[in-house]
Chain A
C-alpha cells in the first residue's frame, strides 16, 4: 500500500530524515517509536503533504501512485488520514460544517452524490457514539476550547467519518489519561478494516497494549535503526531508548 524508498528530508537546510525505507502492506499495523527529535512527526507530515519540509531524495509510492506529486487534499481523498499531534483550533468554523464539507469532497472524488443533511447528521451521530465523543462537541467550532483529551478524541472521530485506507496517528496517545487512551485505542480498533492500514507513532509502549502492531520500527536521528515484531516495543519499555542510541553510536 505504502512504499517509502531512501527518503531524505530537510527543513530549512537541516537534514531531518536521513534515508528511510519502509513498506506498509494492506491490513498491517505499524508502530514507529523513538525519542524526541528523531524525525517521526516530520515523516508523518511528509506523508500527509505538509509543505514545511523539503524532500531532497527518495520516493513515496501510495497505491501505485507517486504520493509526493499530490496535493494534501488529494492524498486525503485517496484515503490517507493524519491524526495530528497538536490538532489546530479553528474559531468560527463549526465541526458540522467542516465534516460535511470534508465528507462531501471525498464523496465527489468517488463519484458519489453529496449526503443529504439528515443522512449526514445520522452518520455523524453513529460515529460520535463509536468514538464516545460528547455530542455537544460537534456543535462547537473546530477544536476551539476543547481539552487535550477532547482534541485527540476529535481526531479519531474525524477518522471515523472519513474511513481512511491509511491512517497515520501522530502521538495520538500523548497527554491522555488512561480512560481517554482506552477510548482512542478502541476507536482505532473498531475502525480497522481488513483492507486498511495504520501507522501509529508513539513514544510509549502503553498505547500498543491496546493497538496491537504487526511491525515495530525504532527511529533515531532520522533513520529507522531497528525493525522487529511486537516484542521490540516491550523491550524498549524495559530498557528505554539509551541502548538503541548506544547501539547506533557503536556502529558508526
Chain B
C-alpha cells in the first residue's frame, strides 16, 4: 500500500466496463433451479430436522432474491460481479481433499488452539467427525451433530436467523450441506481458543455455502477464531451463516480474520443471541479479499447483556469491503458498542452500515457506535451510514462517523520529534488500525495481526506462510 496521496487516473483508464446482460431476477432463478436440481444431494447427508427448513427457505429466497442496491442494507454493495458468474457447487466433499485440509496449519506463531479445518465449506475429517475437548465440549460436523444431539439442534438451529430479510440467509438455510457445530456445556471455561480455518482450494470456480451453529451454555467462557483463506487462484464465492447462542452469564468472543485473494467473494452472516448478563464480542479483521460483505447481528435478549462489535479492513486496488451491523436492544439495561475502521487505497471502495434498534421496553440502554475511515487516494470511496431507531425513552446512544485523510497535526507532531514523514505516516495508520486490534484478548493472535497489518501497510505481502497464492 503506497503512502502517498496520488492521482490514479491511469488506473481508471484501464477499467473495462463489462455490461451485465442478465437481470437480477434471472440470477436468483439460477440459484433456485440449482436447489431444485440438487435437492437429493443436499438433503442426503443432512438430518431430517435441518432438512425440514429447506423448502420454506428456498421459497422465501425466491421471493426476496439476491440483494441488489435497491435493498437498503445493500445500498453501497454491488454483488453482481460475483453472483452473476457461473460456479460449480458441490454438496459433499471430494475424497482427495481430506489430506490437504489435515496438513494445513494457519501461520499464527505460538497460537495454541484447538484447530478445525473446513475445506470448501465441508468438514472433511473422516475418522473423527465429532470430537470431544476438555470439559465436555463437542466440536465437529453439523450434520453429524444433528444426529447425535438432536435435542440441542432443535432448540437452537434456525432460531437466531429467524425474521431476517436477507435473501442470502435463506439461500444458505436451503442449500448449506454442512458446517461446524460447537457445543460448550454449562460452567466450562475453555482457556485455549478454538480455531476454525476455512480453506477454499479448487481447480474450478466454486460457490460454497456452509452453516455453523455455536452453543455456549450458561456460566461458560470461550474464544473462537475464524480464519478465511483461499489457496488457489480461481474465482470463488462463499455465502456462510453462523448462529451463536451465548447463555446466561457467559463470555464469548469471535474473531474473524479474512485473507482471501482479489478474485474471491465472501458474504458472511453472523447472528449472536445473548442471554441475561452475558458478554459477547465480534471482531472482523479483513486484510484482503475481492468483495467482502460481513453482516453481524447482535441480539441482546436478556437483561444486563453486553455486546461489542469491532471491525477493521484494509482495502486497495478494486477491492470492496462492506460491514453491516445490527444491534437489537430487546430488553432493559443492556449495553453495546460498535467500533469499525477502514483504510482505503487506490480505487478501493467500502461501506459501513451500523444499525442500533432500541425496542420499546429497553430502558436503561447504553448504545454507542463509531466508524472512522482513512482514504489514501482521491479515487478511494467510503460510504458510511449510521441508523438509530429508538423506541424507549431512558437511553444513552451516540454515533459518529468520519471519512478523511491522516491528521496533519498528528503527522507534524511525530515529525517534530525526528521521525521521518514516511515512518510517521505508517505509525499513524498502524495506530489507527491498532485501536481495533487491541480489543483482541488472545495475545499471539493480536501480535500476529499487528504484524500482518504493519506488513500490509508497508505494501509487503501479508499472507500465511503456508498459503500458495500470491494475493495481489
Assuming the A-B contacts A73-B421, A92-B433, are A101 and B427 also in contact, with contact meaning beta carbons closer than 8 angstroms in the complex?
Answer: yes
Q: How far is the CB of B458 from chain A (nearest CB, A)?
A: 14
Chain A residues, CB < 8 A from B427 = 93, 97-98, 101
CB distance from B69 to the nearest CB of A (A): 33
Of the listed stretches A18-26, A76-84, A176-184, A204-212, chain B binds A76-84
A71:B431 contact, CB within 8 angstroms = no
A106 touches B438 (CB 8 A): no
Give Cα distance in the complex from A75 to B419, angstroms: 11
Distance of A71 Cα from B421 Cα, bound (Å): 9
Chain B hits for A81, CB < 8 A: 416-417
A54 nearest CB across to chain B (Å): 16
Determine which of B413, B418, B420, B421 lies in contact with A90 in the assembled complex, contact meaning CB atoms within 8 Å: B413
Given contact pairs A73-B421, A105-B419, A106-B418, A93 touches B431 in the complex (Cβ within 8 A): yes
B409 proximal to A (CB < 8 A): yes
Residues of A within 8 A of B430 (CB): 92-93
- Interface-central residue, A48, A73, A91, A105, by most chain B CB under 10 Å: A73
Mask: chain A, 83-101; 1 = CB below 8 Å from B; 0 = not: 0100110111100011001
Q: Which residue of A lies closest to B424 (CB)?
A: A73
**Is A65's beta carbon under 8 Å from chain B?**
no
A88-B410 in contact given A93-B427, A93-B431 (Cβ < 8 Å): yes
Q: Which residues of A contact B435 (CB under 8 A)?
A: 91-92
**Chain A: CB-nearest residue to B412:** A50
Interface size (A, Cβ < 8 Å)?
30
By the criterion CB–CB under 8 Å, are B416 and A76 in contact?
yes
In the complex, chain A residues whose CB is within 8 Å of the CB of B432: 91-92
**Residues of chain A lying within 8 A (CB to CB) of residue B407:** 88
> From residue A27, how far is it (CB to closest CB) to chain B in Å?
23
Are A49 and B434 within 8 A (Cβ)? no
Given contacts A93-B431, A141-B431, contact A105 B418 (CB under 8 A): yes
A142 to B413, CA, bound (A): 10
Judge whether B39 is part of the interface by a CB distance below 8 angstroms: no
A126 at the interface (CB under 8 A from B): no
Query: What's the least CB distance linking A242 to chain B, in Å?
Result: 33
- Say yes or no: is B46 at the interface (Cβ < 8 Å to chain A): no
- Give Cα A77–Cα B427 distance, bound, in whole angstroms: 18
Residues of A within 8 A of B412 (CB): 49-51, 72
- B428 contacts the other chain (CB 8 A): yes
Partner of B415 from A72, A97, A142 at Cβ < 8 Å: A72
Most buried by B among A50, A75, A109: A50
Closest to B423 in A: A101
Closest chain B CB from A152 CB (angstroms): 14
Q: Which of B53-109 contact A (CB under 8 A)?
A: none
Contact, CB under 8 Å: B438 / A87? no
In the complex, the chain B residue whose C-beta lies closest to that of A82 is B416
| Minimum CB–CB distance for A151 against chain B, Å | 11
A202 interface hit (Cβ, 8 Å)? no
Most chain A CB atoms below 10 A, which of B414, B420, B427: B414
Contact call B431/A90, Cβ cutoff below 8 A: yes
Chain A proximity mask over B398-416: 1 for CB below 8 Å, otherwise 0: 0000000001111011111
Least Cβ–Cβ distance between A115 and chain B, in angstroms = 14
**Residues in chain A near residue B433, CB distance under 8 A:** 92
Q: Are B416 and A92 in contact (CB under 8 A)?
A: no
- Contacts A90-B428, A93-B428, A93-B430 given; indicate if A102 touches B413 (C-beta within 8 A): no
CB distance from A70 to the nearest CB of B (A): 11
Residues of A within 8 A of B416 (CB): 48-50, 72-73, 75-76, 81-82, 84
CA distance A91 to B402 in the complex (A): 15
Q: Closest residue to A161 on the B side, CB-wise?
A: B417
Docked complex: B419-449 residues within 8 A CB-CB of A: 419-421, 423-424, 427-428, 430-435, 438
Could you tell me if B431 and A92 are in contact, using CB atoms closer than 8 angstroms?
yes
A88 to B406, CA, bound (A): 13
Output the nearest chain B residue to A92 by Cβ-Cβ distance.
B431
- Contact status A98-B417, CB under 8 Å: yes
Shortest CB–CB separation between residue B263 and chain A, in angstroms? 32
Question: What's the nearest-Cβ distance from chain B to residue A127, in Å?
Answer: 14
A102: chain B residues at CB < 8 Å are 414, 417-419
Chain B hits for A88, CB < 8 A: 407, 409-410, 413
> A49: which B residues are within 8 A, CB to CB?
412, 415-416
Q: How far is the CB of A164 from chain B (nearest CB, A)?
A: 10
Question: Any chain B CB within 8 A of the CB of A172?
Answer: no
A73 to B422, CA, bound (A): 11
| A-B CB proximity, top 8 nearest | A92-B431, A76-B418, A93-B431, A92-B434, A102-B417, A72-B415, A88-B413, A92-B435
Ordered by A's residue number, 16 sampled pairs between the chains whose C-beta atoms are within 8 Å are A49-B412, A50-B416, A73-B418, A75-B416, A76-B415, A76-B417, A88-B407, A88-B410, A88-B413, A90-B413, A91-B432, A92-B430, A92-B438, A93-B430, A102-B417, A105-B420
